[in-house]
Amino acid sequence: MSDTPSSAGNVYVAYKSNSYLFGGNAPYVEEMYENYLQNPGSVPDNWRSYFDALQHVPAVDGTDARDVPHLPVVNAFAERAKQGGTKVVIAAGADSDLGRKRVFTQQLIAAYRNVGQRWADLDPLKRTERPAIPELEPSFYGFSDADLETVFNTSNTFFGKETMPLRELLNALRETYCGSIGAEYMYITDQAQKRWWQEKLESIRSKPNFTADKKKHILERLTAAEGLERYLHTKYVGQKRFSLEGGESFIAAMDELIQQAGAKGIQEIVIGMAHRGRLNVLVNTLGKMPKDLFAEFDHTAPEDLPAGDVKYHQGFSSDVSTPGGPVHLSLAFNPSHLEIVNPVVEGSVRARMDRRGDARGSQVLPVLVHGDAAFAGQGVNQETLALAQTRGYSTGGTVHLIINNQIGFTTSDPRDLRSTLYCTDIVKGVESPVLHVNGDDPEAVVLAVQLALEYRLEFRKDVVVDIICFRKLGHNEQDTPSLTQPLMYKKIASHPGTRKLYADKLAAQGLGESLGDDMVKAYRAALDEGRHTVDPVLTNFKSKYAVDWAPFLGKKWTDAADTAIPLTEWKRIADRLTTIPENVTPHQLVKKVYADRAAMGRGEINVDWGMGEHMAFATLVASGYAVRLSGEDCGRGTFTHRHAVIHDQNREKWDEGTYIPLQNVAENQAPFVVIDSILSEEAVLGFEYGYAGSDPNTLVIWEAQFGDFANGAQVVIDQFIASGEVKWGRLNGLTLMLPHGYEGQGPEHSSARLERFMQLAADTNMQIVQPTTASQIFHVLRRQMIRPLRKPLVLFTPKSLLRNKDATSPLSEFTKGGFQTVLPEQNADVVKKADKVKRVIVCSGKVYYDLVKKREEKGADDVAIVRIEQLYPFPHKAFAAEIKRFPNATDIVWCQDEPQNQGAWFFIQHQIHENMLEGQKLGYAGRAASASPAVGYAHLHQEQQKHLIEAAFAKLKGFILTK
C-alpha cells in the first residue's frame, strides 16, 4: 500500500482508495456517517474519532464548516473525504497512532470479510499451499507483535464482545472466515443482508455445535452414500453410474436441507441435477427401492416406454416425513446437456407456487445441484439466474448445491478450467452469497446448508453452497483418470474417505469405537434385502395439490374437441374484452385497434388475427382454463398485433400504469398472465416447458420474437419438447408460437426452421401447425386445452398475414366448426368444375395467398389449391379426401417459400405420395437448395418469390415423383 502514516505522526491519509473501506463497504460507511452526523454517540468510538477528524478537513472554499446530515443519503462521506485533498489532520503523538490503528482494525475486519475465504481450509486433497494475501496479515497495516495485546473496539462485529485484544480478534476472524467454510457475501448491495451473514457466521465463528445424535445421523448418511457406491462398484463392475465417491457429504447436505425445509413449512421440493451422484440421490434421498435400481442394472426392469433413457437421467418422486410434516420430493428427468434442466425445474416450481397461491415460495423450494465445470461453463446458468428476481419467473430463491470435484469432467488445469477464480463467480452478478465448504468436514457442510436455507427463506434470493470435494473414480467408471491427473490421483488413492475420517473423529469424541463399522454392516444388509434406505418414505400420502394426469392418458390427436362459441357468448365476452375503462388513456393507435376489435365482436367486420387470438384466450379463461403467455415483447407483440397490455399514456408507474383486458373478461375467471421475458430463449423456453409439465390445466405459450430465435433454445426442443414423452413418459402441453414467413427480411428473420421440427416429428410426439386464418388460430388454441390431449403444439405464426384482409374470417367461422387440419379449395368456380382440374397445388402458410393471386392473374381455373394447416401428425384422411375431389388431376405440386433443402418438402413428399391417385406425378416449386435460410438482398428475394410462384403453374421439371 502506497499510502502510509507521515513521519511526523500527526497526519494520516483517509484511505479512500482502499477497496474494503470504500468499495463494496461504501454503503455501510455512508450509513454510519449519516448516523454520526445525526448522533455522534450512535457509532463506535473508533469511527467517531475518525469522523470527528474528518469534520476539520478544509472545504474547497477554504472554510472549515462542519458537515450536516444529508437527506436523501448521498455519497457524503466520500465527498467530504475528498475536500481539500485526502489528508485528515488529527491530534499528534500517541493519540494519533491509536486513532490510526483503530481505523486499521476496521480495515482488517473488512479484509477478512471480503477475502478471508481465500485462506480457508477448503480442499480435502490439500493440493496447493495457502496463497499469500497480505491484507489478512496485521503487519500489512503496520501492526507489530506488541500490538497483539492492544484492546480495540469491535462493536461492529458479532463476536460477542464490544472490545477485544487484537490477537483474540485475529483468531476470531480466522476461525470465522478461514476454517472449513469460506463465505462470500460482501459484494451484496443490501446492507441488511450483509449484516445478516456477519451475525450468523461471526456469532458461532462458522462452527456448528451439534448433538451426539445429530452427529450419528450425519455419519449414517455418509455411510449410506459410500455404501451404495461400493455395493454397485462390486456388483456391477465397470458399469457406468457416475459415482459420488469423494463427495459423500452431499447426501448429508441433501438430507439436512429436506428435513430443515420441512420443519420451516416447505411442502414441496423440486430438484434438478446432472449425472454425478444421481443414483445415490434416488436411493438415499428420495427413497427409491434399491431392488428397483438393481433391476435396471440387471436389465430386468419393465421397459414400457417407446425409447426409455439411461439410469442416470431418470427422475423420481416420493413423499418423506419431516419435523414439519410430509414433503413431496420431485427429481426432474434430464438429459446429458447437464445444466439445461435448471430452468425446467424453475418453471415447475413456479407452476406449483401458482397452484398453491404461494407467491413468495414459502411452500415450494427449488434445489439445483451442479458440477463445478458445468456451472461455470454453461450459459444457461446465466440465463436462469437472470430470471430469478423477475415478475414472471421468480420462485422465491433457489438453493444451489455444487458438487465441486475440482476436475470438472476431465480438466483440472486451472489454465483451461475457467476464467474466474471460483466456479461460482457467475452468481455475483445477481448478488447471491456463496458458502465454499470443505467436503471432508461433513458438519461444516450441514451447517452451510442450514445457513443457506435460512437465508433463502429470509430474503427470497438464490444462495450457493459449493461443496469442495474430489472424484475418486474417473469421469465414468470406465475411465482411468491418472492418465491425465497423475499427482491428483495419487493423493486420492491414499485418501481414507470422508466416512472413515468422520467415523474416527466421532470415535475419538467417545461416541463409539465400533459405531462406523456397525453402520456399514447395517446398510449393507439393507441393500442385500433390497429395502428402503430412507426412513420414513410415505407410501400412501397424497397432497391436495397433486395433479391428476389420468384424464390425459391414452388420448389421440384425432379425438374431437368442440371449440366453437355460441354467438351470444362470443358477443358478451367480446364486449368485455374491448371495453377500456374511462380512467385508462390508450395510445391513439391502440384505441383504434380496440375500436376495430369491438366492431369485429359485433360481427360488423371480419375478425383479424389479433382478435381471433384474443378471443381464444378470453373464452378459455372465462371457461376456467388459465393462460400464461411469455416471450420477448409478447405483451405488445413483436409485430404490434397483440396489444394484450394497454399502457396508459398519462401514467408510467409500473404497478398502475397498465390495463390488461384479458384479466377482466368474466367474473371468477381463470388467470391470464402475459410477461415480457428477458432477452433469453433457452432458459425461458425451458422454464415454460417446466411450467407446462406441472400444470396441464394452463395454456402455456412461449412466443419467439422471430421464429429463427428458437435456434437459441434448440437443446430444450431436442431433449425435452420432442423426446420427453418417449424417454420419460412425461406429458406436456406447451405451445410454441414461432413467427415464420418469407418477406424479404433476410436470413435471420424469415424462417422458424420448420424442417428441424419436421425431422424431430415421430411417435406422435408433437403437433406442428401453420394456420393461415384468424379462425384457425382461434380454434387451434382452444383445441389445445379443450381436447384432453397434452402434446407440445408448435405454431408457425405469420407476420404479414397479421394485417392481411384475406386472412381475416367471418364471425360465423368462430361460432361453428372447428380447427381444420386441411383447408380445401376455396374458389367456388374451381370446385364446381372439379373434373376439369388438371393440377392440385399443395402448400402451407403465407405462400397460399400469393398462389391465389397468381391464379387469378392467369385465369387458371383448372388449378386447385389445397392448404395443409397441420403438418404433423399428417392428416391423411382429410388430405386424401381433397385429392379425390379432383380425379382428373395429373399433376400434384408442392409449393413452399423455403429453400428445397429446408421447409416441409423432404418430410411431406412421402405423405403426399401416399395419398396420390394412380398415374399422378408429384413436383416441387420453391426456392433452390441453400445454405442460408433466406437471401438478404430485397431485389433477389422478390425475384426468387416471383419465380417460385410461376413454377407452381409451369410444366413440371426437375424432381418428379410418380405414383
Give the tens place of pLDDT for each residue, 729-764: 999 999 999 999 999 999 999 999 999 999 999 999
Confidence of residue 537 (pLDDT cuts 50, 70, 90): confident
760-776: buried (b, 16+ CB within 10 Å) or exposed (e) per residue? bbeeebbbbbbbbbbbb
Distance of alpha carbon 368 from alpha carbon 349, whole angstroms: 12
Q: Return the percent helix, strand and coil in the chain, to nearest 5.
A: 45, 15, 40
Cα distances from 799 to residues 59, 685, 771, 846, in angstroms, run 64, 21, 12, 9
Cα separation of 765 and 781, whole Å? 18
Intervals of CATH 3.40.50.11610 along the chain: 823-962
Please write the tens of the pLDDT for every residue from 849-869: 999 999 999 999 999 999 999
Q: For residue range 900-934, what is the model confidence (pLDDT) as tens digits?
A: 999 999 999 999 999 999 999 999 999 999 999 99
Q: What DSSP letter does each residue of 111-160 carry, written as one string?
A: HHHHHGGGGS---TT--SPPPP-GGGSGGGGT--GGGGG-EEE-TTS-SS
- Return the CATH number of the domain spanning residue range 823-962: 3.40.50.11610
Q: If you classify domain 212-537 with CATH, what class do you get?
A: alpha beta
Q: Place 4 in a pLDDT band, splitting at 50, 70 and 90.
A: very low
* pLDDT number for residue 675: 96
> How far is it, in rounded angstroms, from Cα 245 to Cα 227?
10
**C-alpha atoms less than 13 angstroms from C-alpha of 297 in its C-beta half-sphere:** 17
Q: Report whether pLDDT(160) > 90.
A: yes
Give per-residue pLDDT as tens, 361-374.
999 999 999 999 99
Does residue 808 have a pLDDT over 50? yes
403 and 437 Cβ atoms separated by less than 8 Å: no
Output 207 or 132, whichever has higher pLDDT. Answer: 207
CA 533 to chain centre: 32
Residue 609 has pLDDT above 60, yes or no: yes
Where does the chain hold its CATH 3.40.50.970 domain(s)?
A: 212-537
Position 58 scores a pLDDT of 44
Distance of CA 830 to the CA centre of its chain: 52
DSSP state of 713: G
Predicted pLDDT at 70:
61
Q: Where in the chain is the domain with CATH 3.40.50.12470?
A: 609-645+662-815
What residue type is 389 in one-letter code?
Answer: Q
CB 574 within 8 A of CB 790: no
Three-class DSSP category at 368: strand
Which phi and psi angles does 627 have, rounded to 5°? -130, 130
Q: What is the pLDDT of residues 457-502, one digit of tens each?
A: 999 999 999 999 999 988 777 788 888 889 998 999 999 999 999 9
Residue 27 has pLDDT above 70, yes or no: no
pLDDT for the residue 88: 38
Burial of residue 948 (CB within 10 Å: 0-12, 13-18, 19+) is buried
Residue 194 DSSP one-character state: H
Give residue 740's identity as a one-letter amino acid code: H
**Percent over 90 (pLDDT), the chain:** 77
This prediction's pTM: 0.90
Per CATH, the architecture of 609-645+662-815 is what?
3-Layer(aba) Sandwich (3.40)
